[in-house]
Amino acid sequence: MSATFSLGISILLLLVAFSSSTSGKDDVVDEEKHLRFPPNFVFGAATAAYQIEGAWNVSGKGESTWDRLVHEHPDRIYNGDTGDVAANSYYQYKEDVAILKKLGFKSYRFSISWPRILPTGFANKINAEGIQYYHNLIDELKDNGIEPMLTLYHWDHPQVLEDMGGWLNDEMVYWFGDYASIIFREYGSKVKKFVTINEPKAICKNGYSLGIHAPGKRLSGLGEYMCIHNVLKSHAVAYRIYDSEFRSKFHGEVGVLVDVMAYMPENFEFDAAAETAFQFNIGWTMHPIFSKEGDYPPAMKQLVANRSKAEGFVKSRLPVFDEYWVNFIRGSADFLAVNHYTSRLVVSGTMGQIPSHEHDQGVREIIDSFWKSSASNWLKVVPVGFRYILVQLAKNYGNPPMYITENGVSDLGTLNDDDRIYYYREYLKQMLIAIYEDGVDIRGYYLWSLLDNFEWNAGYRERFGIVFVDYEDPNRQRMLKKSASWWQQVIAAGKIETN
């Protein structure tokens, strides 16, 4: 598409559209040009290693943080579920690739299990069987005309590294760099798009502040900030390794991933509150990489410093990047990978415990009662929020090339998943308007998820797949849902059908 970035609709008009949508009216323009995908647009599906592979302790794989959590704290997971077998994709990957091909997907985003490659956590012992498994998967994809997008880390790092502090230990930056070097060296000739770390904010808040995900630590107001600090460094180290050692040989790209909600002011009185929420939740990881000056957003630095002082801390709970790291992190992305599911309204106020990332913001998030629900209590269906946040990302960060790397909705398990079709249709419409009307440079879309899978602390209760997996069946039978057939038609036609 053209490099011109028009932002052809203002945030004001987006809010007007949002207000209309809550009343059940559809004001989205449904002209033919807004329903057809651009030429060479990439259609893909996404999964993650721990959520589908299983084979948790075979073929030389080491223990991951999620292995440890589900085995030692089954009470933290719905129904005591584990990823020990999951969808059994370690053994059934060829079946999964055949489904991708049948439906017409041209790309597949998957993640590498770090402890399957480095069982001890360190690069002095590389597991040949783990290396070969991912070669087999990649070869199967490419033999079927499907391009891989490889995520180096999707939440399952070796437990031995967590025993030494995990993402709170500065050394994790270099351990991750060693791991990234191996991945680039092994797969760089076959994989041309890499994502370094999936959803930094989710890792750090859920794993090191709220304690609901592995490693299950509750260090509110400190853990999440220390974690993000090292995650950002680790991402940049991996990027610079590829840039200096592998780019000239393999000619691939390395992107950074951000998990985003749309933070929309409840009304114009709360524009500043919504901007603060954006900077705290998105600028936190994006400003250091995409802004001209680098570093954390100025408003975030000031607010956390003020809160820390008021709470009696000697210095800000937000760590400080020195000049070397500011420069090293800035510009460390070839593309922006975007995970988006839902939105929030924002007003002034407070939320969260003291201290915490939530409380530091000085805002309050609201869920509109008109928004359609899903099987996940955090996920409300707000299509207009998708366009809203895509425009914000483009406006704030220079309209970088974007790939939507996760987008989808949960139910409790049905083959006739009309609600999922509705979600995809309406969100895709908003994405296409962002492309055609606002000039946002979106080059591909990966739905979440190909398969029903282990949804972290929700176990197997919440289903996101377009392919049903029978978890009562030892063979993990796969069955196409109605949404899979819908996607097959969309990809074949290159456009969204209105009925």
Is the pLDDT at 185 greater than 70? The verdict is: yes
Can you give the pLDDT at residue 2?
38
Distance CA 385, CA 261 (A): 8
What pLDDT, in 10s, does the model give residues 49-94?
Answer: 999 999 999 999 999 999 999 999 999 999 999 999 999 999 999 9
State the Cα–Cα distance between residues 404 and 402, nearest whole angstrom: 7
Q: Looking at residues 269-292, what average pLDDT do you find?
A: 98
What is the band of 33 on the pLDDT scale with cuts at 50, 70, 90?
Answer: confident
Mean pLDDT in residue range 105-116: 98
- Of the pLDDT bands very low, low, confident and very high (cuts 50, 70, 90), residue 18 is very low
Specify the amino acid at residue 234. S
Active site residue 323: no
pLDDT of residue 499: 64
Q: What angle do CA 341, 343, 347 make, to 5 degrees?
A: 160
Output the CATH code of domain 11-493. Answer: 3.20.20.80
Distance between CA atoms of 423 and 475, rounded to whole angstroms?
Answer: 30
**Residue 270 or 499, more confident:** 270
Q: What is the pLDDT of residues 301-357, one digit of tens each?
A: 999 999 999 999 999 999 999 999 999 999 999 999 999 999 999 999 999 999 999
Backbone φ, ψ for residue 68 (5° rounding): -65, -45
Mean pLDDT of 478-489: 98
Instruction: Summarize the confidence of residues 460-471 as an average pLDDT.
Output: 98
Query: pLDDT grade, residue 143 (50/70/90)?
Result: very high
**Mean pLDDT computed over every residue of the chain:** 94
Give the span between the Cα atoms of 338 and 474, in whole angstroms: 35
pLDDT in tens, 411-448: 999 999 999 999 999 999 999 999 999 999 999 999 99
Closest Cα to residue 169, out of 199, 208, 115?
A: 208
213-238 pLDDT, tens digit each: 999 999 999 999 999 999 999 999 99
Q: Note the residue count of the chain.
A: 499
Q: Which of 53, 140, 358, 406 does the annotation list as catalytic? A: 406
pTM of the model: 0.95
For residue 388, which amino acid is it?
Answer: Y
Q: Using CA atoms of 74, 79, 83, 87 in order, give the dihedral in degrees to the nearest 10.
A: 170
Q: State mean pLDDT over 246-272.
A: 98
Q: What does the pLDDT average to over 360-373?
A: 98
Tokens read off for 118: 């480095």
Q: Model confidence at 204, in pLDDT bands (50, 70, 90)?
A: very high
Give me 371's structure tokens.
């928004």
Average pLDDT of the residues in 281-287:
98
Q: Find where tokens 């060693």 sit.
A: 178
